[in-house]
Structures are given as C-alpha cells and as structure tokens.
Amino acid sequence: MGTDSSATLARAALSRLFEPSDTVGLGLVATVGPVDALRIARSELAVGGEIRRSLRELLGSADGPRDPLQDSLARWAPRVPELAPERDLATLRRLAGRLVTPETDEWPVALDDLQGGTPICLWVRGTQAIPPQARLASVVGSRDSTPYGSSVTTELSAGLVTRGYGVVSGGAYGIDAQAHRAALASASDHGSPTIAVLAGGIDRYYPAGNEELLRTIAQRGLLLAEVPPGSSPTRWRFLQRNRLIAALSAVTVIVEARWRSGALNTAHHAAALGRPVGAVPGSVYSANSAGCHRLLRDGTAVCVADAADVAELAGPLGGEPLGDRARENAEPVRDQDGLSVPDLLVLDGLPVRAATTVDKLTSVAGLSVREVIGGLARLELAGLACRTGEGWRRRQR
C-alpha cells in the first residue's frame, strides 16, 4: 500500500526521530517542510546559511552562542538508522489506525494553537473522526482518586456525553479511567464518546491494568498519540501528552488533584492556551482536592460542580471561544453551529475515510430513515457530507 504521501511518510519518520515538543525539530519542519526536514536530519540535504538563520530567528535564538540545529542533529543522529516509517505505517494499518497530519482533512486545527509545540502528527486508532474542539471536554485528575472523585467524574463525564461532548482524558488509573468508562457507558453508538491521549504508542496499553479499557476505547472511541507505535510512555512524554489533552478540547476540568499533581500540569497547559479550566471543589480536608482548590484560589480555574457548569464554560457547542489562530482555521468546523441535534448525530456517524449507507447511519446515529435522509440532504447542502459511489461520507470544508 504505497499510497502514503511523501509528507505523511516524512512526518511518520520525524515523529519517531523527535521527542514531543522538540522545538528545534518542529521549527525545522515549519521552516523547510517535513520532507526536507527529514532529509536534513538524515544528512541527505545540506543546510544552507539562510535556513539556519531563519530557524534561529523562529526559535528566538538568533544571538545564541551555539547553533541549535547542530546540537539537534547530533541528538537525532543515533535514531536515524532506526527510522522505518513504512514499517510503522504498516503497523498502524494492522491496528486499523490512521496517521492524521496537518495535511489531512481530519487534522484538529485546535492543535495549531500550540504553535511551536504543535505535534508533528497524530497516530490514531478508532473508526470515528476526531470531533472538533468545540465538542470535546477534557476530564482529568489524580490516579489515586477517592470515591468522591470517582463519583463526580462519573456524573460529569456522563453528563457531558449526554450533552453532545466527547470526553478527552489520559487513560491513566483513577479519574482518567473513570472519565473514559462513564463516557463509554453513557454513549449511544454514534460519535466518539471518549478519546484517550496516550504518552506512549497507541499499541501500548499503559498502564497494564487499563488494557481492557484502552482496547474498548480503540473500538468505540479514539486512541491518540504523537509518538509512533511501540514507543514507551516516558515521563517527558507524559508531561507533553498533557498539552495535547488541553489543546484538543474546548474546556479542561480537573476533578481531583493533590497539591502537586500532573493534572495541574494539564490545567496550566489549558490556561496557557487561553482555554477555560474548571476545577471541582471538595472537602478542605481532602488532600486529593487541595490541587483543585489551589487552581481555584490562584484563578487558573473556575469552580464547576456539574456537567452543566462545564458545558457553560465550554460555550455553546461549536461556538466556544477559540484562540485567534484556531478561530481562523476553524471556520469550516464552526459552520456546524446551526445544525440540529439529529443532524449533528448524522454528521457524527459519517466516516471520514470510508463511505457508509443510510441503513447503517440509522443504526449508528440512532435515528429514523427519514431523519437520516433529511439530515444527509442538509449536510450535503452545508458541504459537510458527500455522496460517493460507495455511499455517504463526511466532507470537511
């Protein structure tokens, strides 16, 4: 299946070469594009003075004593012989996955708000398209959750799915797992009720105790990672993974967190992106709420007590406050604003990379044939669906 574009192949390779948020690597891609960036990393292409200058300017290191690219080339060198993007993409296909890149329609433009930290690509498992930012809410928290935290998470997550949001979390024990589980339990068969953003490869079920859950998410939701299959979930990757959770969604909620907790890192990423952050209050005697209270006290987070509060923070579906860049790029997405709930369900049921039939859609979306046919007509008019030889598929404008 040699249909992968050179950009796709290059990004697949670079995602193994670069650690997440490798600013020099990502800056090089921004400067010369992924294909030439890979050739430079592989020493197949010499780097001229102009590129070096552009890169140093982009990185804000124009006056630094050392050339950042030189250091990075040295850092990347040991990994160059291991690069085998065709093999990684073949693995991905065996997992029924796909590579989502800025060159593809499915690319979540919300990630571009990360600017210099925008991931090189996303390795994705799951059949549905990644919902737009406006329809995603992140629900995260400590691994050592209390019964209180689990209970609040269940209600929040279920309430968000009922309101039409997909729930993004990190697949960890505790709050994360509960958020995924409740989303799966509350979802009908349409849409992507939950997205787990992993620190390691999407074929690595980590932590092991959540393997069953992660397998279910791969089938009924989405597993995302910026590192290729087989990658280990290192501490650095965990911290960087949090920025993706924050960037993908319209709102980030911390249900329980200790005074020092990784969940606070996610909250700070969201706040840095200008995304609203919610924190669930709890007993002042609970160490697991101390981090939430800290976020409330320092003004990073707004107090949220239920899914309605979270939805209010996120803004209306499709009409949430976006960063400037995202606002610009998100125009097509925001055209969904005027859609009725049934039409949104039809849209959710439409695959991006394959075609489906009206019959299948009635089952996937839980709607009548009449509603599906009417919805498809309206979506086609809106430029969001198209009829192909095999049936209907989603179209992103």
Catalog residues that contact a second copy under the rule CB under 8 A: 148, 151-152, 280-285, 289-290, 292-293, 296-297, 302-306, 309
Residue with tokens 């992660």: 214
Q: How many CB atoms lie within 10 A of CB 71?
A: 11
Q: Which is nearer to a second copy, 95 or 287 (CB)?
A: 287
Contacting residues for 223 by C-beta, under 8 A, at least 6 apart? 97, 124, 125, 126, 171, 195, 196, 198, 202, 214, 217
Q: Which is nearer to a second copy, 130 or 304 (CB)?
A: 304
* Residue 349 to residue 342: CA distance in whole angstroms: 11
Least separation in angstroms between CB 143 and a second copy: 21
Least separation in angstroms between CB 321 and a second copy: 17
Contacting residues for 271 by C-beta, under 8 A, at least 6 apart? 277, 300, 301
Structural contact between residues 192 and 248, judged by C-beta atoms closer than 8 angstroms: no
Least separation in angstroms between CB 155 and a second copy: 9
> What are the phi and psi torsion angles at 6 (to 5°)?
-65, -35
Q: Which is nearer to a second copy, 90 or 287 (CB)?
A: 287
Q: Is 346 left (phi over 0), alpha (psi -120 to 50) or beta?
A: alpha
Least separation in angstroms between CB 293 and a second copy: 5
Residues forming beta bridges with residue 222, ordered by sequence position: 195
Q: Which of 62, 87, 243 is nearest to 170 (CA)?
A: 243
* Residue 345 to residue 3: CA distance in whole angstroms: 31
Cα angle 270, 276, 282; round to 5: 95
Q: Which is nearer to a second copy, 226 or 309 (CB)?
A: 309
Contacting residues for 188 by C-beta, under 8 A, at least 6 apart? 366
Q: Which is nearer to a second copy, 129 or 263 (CB)?
A: 263
Structural contact between residues 125 and 50, judged by C-beta atoms closer than 8 angstroms: no
* Residue 181 to residue 175: CA distance in whole angstroms: 10
Q: Which is nearer to a second copy, 101 or 289 (CB)?
A: 289
Least separation in angstroms between CB 267 and a second copy: 14
Least separation in angstroms between CB 245 and a second copy: 22
Q: Which of 43, 258, 277 is nearest to 137 (CA)?
A: 277
Q: DSSP letter at 209?
A: G
Q: Which is nearer to a second copy, 255 or 385 (CB)?
A: 255
Least separation in angstroms between CB 172 and a second copy: 22
Least separation in angstroms between CB 304 and a second copy: 7
Q: Which is nearer to a second copy, 309 or 320 (CB)?
A: 309
Dihedral over Cα of 220, 172, 243, 37: its sign:
negative
Q: Which is nearer to a second copy, 305 or 354 (CB)?
A: 305
Least separation in angstroms between CB 114 and a second copy: 28
Q: Which is nearer to a second copy, 167 or 292 (CB)?
A: 292
Least separation in angstroms between CB 283 and a second copy: 6
Q: Which H or E run includes 195?
A: strand 194-197
